[in-house]
C-alpha cells in the first residue's frame, strides 16, 4: 500500500512528522508519565483512555482498541487513504513527493482530491481579488463595512466576492485551461440543463471560504447583499466537502478552543465573524445543518464544554431537541444561550459588546434545564400547564441513556413543577416501554451511534484472539518482546519460534517484524506501515503500548516455557493418537496424524537450524 509513495519519502515523512503534534491538532492531550493521554476521537468516553507514545510514535485506545501510527491516525480520523495521509503530512513539513512513481490510475484517484482542493484555492483567490480590486467588489466591500466588519477579520477569514454574471468563474478556469468537468466536481460551476456549457453557482454574493483543520479550502458559502432568496447558498457535498464533518471557522478557532476548553456554536457566518471580531475566538458555525455527532466528535478534541448560541427561543428549542441525543451521551457538557428577542449574536455583540455577551454566556443553561425552562414558560404552572409540561418533556427525558443524568433531570423537573418525582418517573417509563416495544425511529433516539456496538465487538475480538488460553498468552508475550526488545529477535529466528505459533494474526505480525533487516532499529510504527488490516494494526498498537521492561534473561524464560508447552502438546498428541487407534476412530486418527506430520516437519526444521 505504501508503494504509491517512494519508501524513502515515507520514512522521511515519518521521521519528520511527530505523532504527538499531529494528534494534538484534534485531541486535547495531557502528559502522563512517558505518554500522553486524551479523550478518544474514535469512541465516546468521559475519562481519557486514548494514549499516544512519543517514544514509539504510535497511539492506542484502551477503550475501543484502536491503534496505529501517525499515518493510520490521519487515515482513520480524516477518512483518507494512506497516500493521502502521507501527502498531507509531506505538505505540512515541506517534503516534496515525486509524482512519477505512481501509475496513471493511482495518479487519477489520488489527484482528484488534490485537484479539487487546488481548484477551491484558485477560486478563493479569484473571489478575493474581486472583492479587493474588482469594479463591482466596491459595493460588496461597502456592504461588509456597513455590517461593521474589520479589514483584519475579512483577511483572516479570506472573505471574497462572486461578481454578477453567469460565467465569470467559468471563464476564469477556461483561461487557466482547467477542464470544466473537473471544476464542476467542486460544485463551483453547474452544467446547464438543456444547453451545453456551464454557469457559475455563486453570483453577486459575499463569499465565505470554508476551511478544514489543516487549512485547506473545502467549500464555500455565499450570501446575498439584499433581501433576495436564497439568502445563503453553500457548496454541494463533494469528495472534499462533507457538511456533517465541517464547521465554519474551525481553522481559526481551534487554538482558542483548546486554551479555554470551551467552544461557542452559532448558526450564521456573520454571527461567527462578529464573535471573532469581538475577541471571542473560540467559536465556530454550523453550515446550514443541525449539529451532528461528527461535529461533536471533531470539537471534543478541543473543548469539553459546548455553548450553543441562538437568537430565539424557538430556534433554541428546536436545536436543543435535535441535538439532545448527541449531548446526552455525555461526551461534552452542552449549554444553551438564547439572546433577547430581536437579536442575533451579530447584532447583540455590536450593540452590547464583549462583556455583556460573556455575562450572558456565564448564565447559560444546560440543555435539559433549558427545555424544562422553556416548557414551563410556554405552558405555565396551572394544573393543565403542568400536565402539558410533563408530556412535552417525557420523550427527551426518556432518551437520556445515562441513568444518573436522567434521574437528576427528573428530580429537577419534579421540583420545578412541584409534582411527585415518582409520578414523573412513571410517565417516562411509559415512553421507554413503548420504545422498547419496537417503536424505533422515535425522533429523540435517531442519533444513536451505530459504531458503539461494533467497536466493542472489535475489542472483544482483538483481546479474545490473543488471550485465548495459555498458549495464546505466551504467543502474545513473545510478540510484545519482539516489539519492545528487538535484541531478542535473532534468538527467535534461530529457534524458529514463530513457526509454532497457532494464532495466525500474531504469527504474521511476528513475520513482519522479522522482515526488518536491521533488528536493532525495529520501530513499531514502521511495522504498521506494512500492514493493511486494521485489526492487526490495533493489535500491534495494543501489544507495543505496554511499559514492560525486558532483558535477555526474562525473554529466554518465556521462550523456554513456550517450547516446553509445545513439547508437552506434542506428547499429548501422541497419547491422543494412541487412544484413537485403540477406539478405531479413523476419522480422528487421520486428523491427528496430519497434525503430527506438521509438527514433525517443524521439529525437523528446528533441528536443522540448531545443527547449523
Binding site for Zn ion (CB under 5 A): 40, 42-43, 61, 63-64
What minimum distance in Å lies between the beta carbon of 44 and Zn ion? 9
What minimum distance in Å lies between the beta carbon of 545 and Zn ion? 13
Residue with smaller CB distance to Zn ion, 26 or 183: 26
Residue with smaller CB distance to Zn ion, 62 or 485: 62
Residue with smaller CB distance to Zn ion, 23 or 478: 23
What minimum distance in Å lies between the beta carbon of 71 and Zn ion? 18
What minimum distance in Å lies between the beta carbon of 265 and Zn ion? 24
* Integer Cα distance of 459 and 439 in angstroms: 30
Question: Given the DSSP bridges, would you call strands 283-285 and 262-266 parallel, antiparallel or unpaired?
Answer: parallel
Residue with smaller CB distance to Zn ion, 64 or 580: 64
Residue with smaller CB distance to Zn ion, 63 or 83: 63
Beta bridge partners of 50: 38, 61
Residue with smaller CB distance to Zn ion, 64 or 390: 64
- φ and ψ at residue 310, rounded to 5 degrees: -125, 155
Residue with smaller CB distance to Zn ion, 340 or 457: 457
Question: 173 near 191, Cβ under 8 Å?
Answer: no
* Integer Cα distance of 85 and 87 in angstroms: 5
* Integer Cα distance of 285 and 250 in angstroms: 8
* Integer Cα distance of 581 and 11 in angstroms: 57
Instruction: Report the candidate in 93, 75, 92 with the shortest Cα–Cα distance to residue 84.
Output: 75
- CA-CA distances (angstroms) from residue 66 to 43, 83, 138, 536, 545? 9, 20, 52, 10, 12
What minimum distance in Å lies between the beta carbon of 73 and Zn ion? 12
Nine cell digits for residue 6: 517512494
- Sequence-ordered alpha helix ranges (H) in 380-437: 383-398, 403-416, 421-436
Question: Given the DSSP bridges, would you call strands 333-338 and 305-310 parallel, antiparallel or unpaired?
Answer: parallel
What minimum distance in Å lies between the beta carbon of 397 and Zn ion? 28
Residue with smaller CB distance to Zn ion, 43 or 495: 43
Positive or negative, the Cα torsion across 585, 589, 590, 595?
A: positive
What minimum distance in Å lies between the beta carbon of 42 and Zn ion? 5
What minimum distance in Å lies between the beta carbon of 459 and Zn ion? 9
Amino acid at each position: 500500500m505504501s508503494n504509491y509513495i517512494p519508501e524513502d519519502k515515507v520514512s522521511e515523512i515519518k521521521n519528520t512528522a511527530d505523532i504527538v503534534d499531529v494528534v494534538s491538532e484534534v485531541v486535547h492531550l495531557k502528559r502522563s508519565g512517558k505518554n500522553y493521554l486524551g479523550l478518544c476521537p474514535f469512541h465516546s468516553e468521559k475519562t481519557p483512555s486514548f494514549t499516544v507514545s512519543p517514544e514509539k510514535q504510535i497511539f492506542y485506545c484502551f477503550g475501543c482498541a484502536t491503534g496505529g501510527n501517525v499515518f493510520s491516525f490521519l487515515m482513520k480520523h480524516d477518512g483518507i487513504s494512506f497516500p493521502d495521509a502521507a501527502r498531507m503530512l509531506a505538505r505540512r513539513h515541506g517534503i516534496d513527493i515525486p509524482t512519477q512513481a505512481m501509475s496513471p490510475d493511482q495518479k487519477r484517484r489520488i489527484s482528484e482530491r488534490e485537484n479539487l482542493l487546488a481548484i477551491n484555492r484558485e477560486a478563493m483567490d479569484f473571489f478575493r481579488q474581486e472583492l479587493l480590486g474588482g469594479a463591482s467588489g466596491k459595493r460588496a466591500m461597502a456592504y461588509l463595512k456597513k455590517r461593521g466588519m474589520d479589514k483584519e477579520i475579512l483577511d483572516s477569514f479570506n472573505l471574497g466576492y462572486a461578481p454578477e454574471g453567469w460565467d465569470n468563474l467559468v471563464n476564469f478556469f477556461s483561461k487557466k485551461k482547467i477542464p470544466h468537468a473537473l471544476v464542476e466536481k467542486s460544485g463551483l460551476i453547474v452544467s446547464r440543463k438543456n444547453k451545453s456549457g456551464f454557469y457559475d453557482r455563486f453570483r453577486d454574493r459575499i463569499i465565505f471560504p470554508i476551511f478544514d483543520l489543516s487549512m485547506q479550502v473545502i467549500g464555500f458559502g455565499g450570501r446575498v447583499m439584499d433581501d433576495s432568496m436564497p439568502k445563503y447558498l453553500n457548496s454541494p457535498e463533494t469528495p472534499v466537502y462533507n457538511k456533517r464533518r465541517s464547521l465554519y471557522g474551525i481553522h481559526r478557532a481551534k487554538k482558542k478552543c483548546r486554551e479555554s476548553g470551551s467552544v461557542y456554536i452559532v448558526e450564521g457566518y456573520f454571527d461567527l465573524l462578529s464573535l471573532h471580531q469581538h475577541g471571542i475566538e473560540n467559536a465556530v458555525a454550523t453550515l446550514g445543518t443541525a449539529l451532528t455527532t461528527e461535529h461533536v466528535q471533531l470539537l471534543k478534541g478541543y473543548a469539553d464544554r459546548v455553548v450553543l448560541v441562538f437568537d430565539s427561543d424557538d430556534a433554541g428549542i428546536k436545536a436543543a431537541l435535535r441535538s439532545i441525543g448527541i449531548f446526552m451521551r455525555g461526551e461534552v457538557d452542552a449549554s444553551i444561550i438564547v439572546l433577547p428577542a430581536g437579536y442575533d449574536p451579530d447584532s447583540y455583540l455590536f450593540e452590547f459588546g464583549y462583556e455583556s455577551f460573556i455575562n450572558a454566556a456565564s448564565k447559560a443553561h444546560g440543555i435539559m434545564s433549558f427545555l424544562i425552562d422553556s416548557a414551563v414558560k410556554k405552558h405555565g404552572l396551572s394544573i393543565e400547564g403542568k400536565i402539558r409540561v410533563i408530556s412535552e418533556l417525557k420523550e427527551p427525558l426518556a432518551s437520556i441513556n445515562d441513568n444518573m443524568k436522567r434521574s437528576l433531570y427528573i428530580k429537577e423537573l419534579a421540583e420545578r413543577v412541584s409534582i411527585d418525582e415518582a409520578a414523573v418517573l412513571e410517565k417516562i417509563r411509559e415512553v421507554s416501554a413503548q420504545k422498547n416495544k419496537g417503536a424505533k425511529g422515535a425522533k429523540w433516539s435517531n442519533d444513536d451511534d451505530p459504531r458503539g456496538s461494533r467497536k466493542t465487538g472489535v475489542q472483544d475480538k482483538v483481546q479474545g484472539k490473543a488471550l485465548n488460553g495459555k498458549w495464546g498468552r505466551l504467543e502474545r508475550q513473545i510478540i510484545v518482546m519482539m516489539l519492545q526488545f528487538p535484541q531478542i529477535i535473532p534468538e527467535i529466528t534461530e529457534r524458529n519460534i514463530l513457526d509454532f505459533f497457532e494464532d495466525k494474526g500474531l504469527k504474521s505480525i511476528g513475520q513482519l517484524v522479522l522482515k526488518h533487516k536491521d533488528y536493532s532499529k525495529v520501530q513499531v510504527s514502521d511495522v504498521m506501515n506494512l500492514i493493511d488490516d486494521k485489526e492487526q494494526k490495533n493489535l500491534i498498537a495494543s501489544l507495543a503500548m505496554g511499559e514492560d521492561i525486558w532483558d535477555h534473561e526474562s525473554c529466554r524464560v518465556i521462550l523456554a516455557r513456550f517450547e516446553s508447552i509445545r513439547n508437552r502438546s506434542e506428547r499429548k498428541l501422541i497419547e491422543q493418537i494412541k487412544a484413537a487407534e485403540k477406539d478405531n476412530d479413523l476419522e480422528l486418527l487421520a486428523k491427528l496424524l496430519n497434525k503430527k506430520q506438521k509438527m514433525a516437519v517443524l521439529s525437523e526444521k528446528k533441528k536443522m537450524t540448531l545443527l547449523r
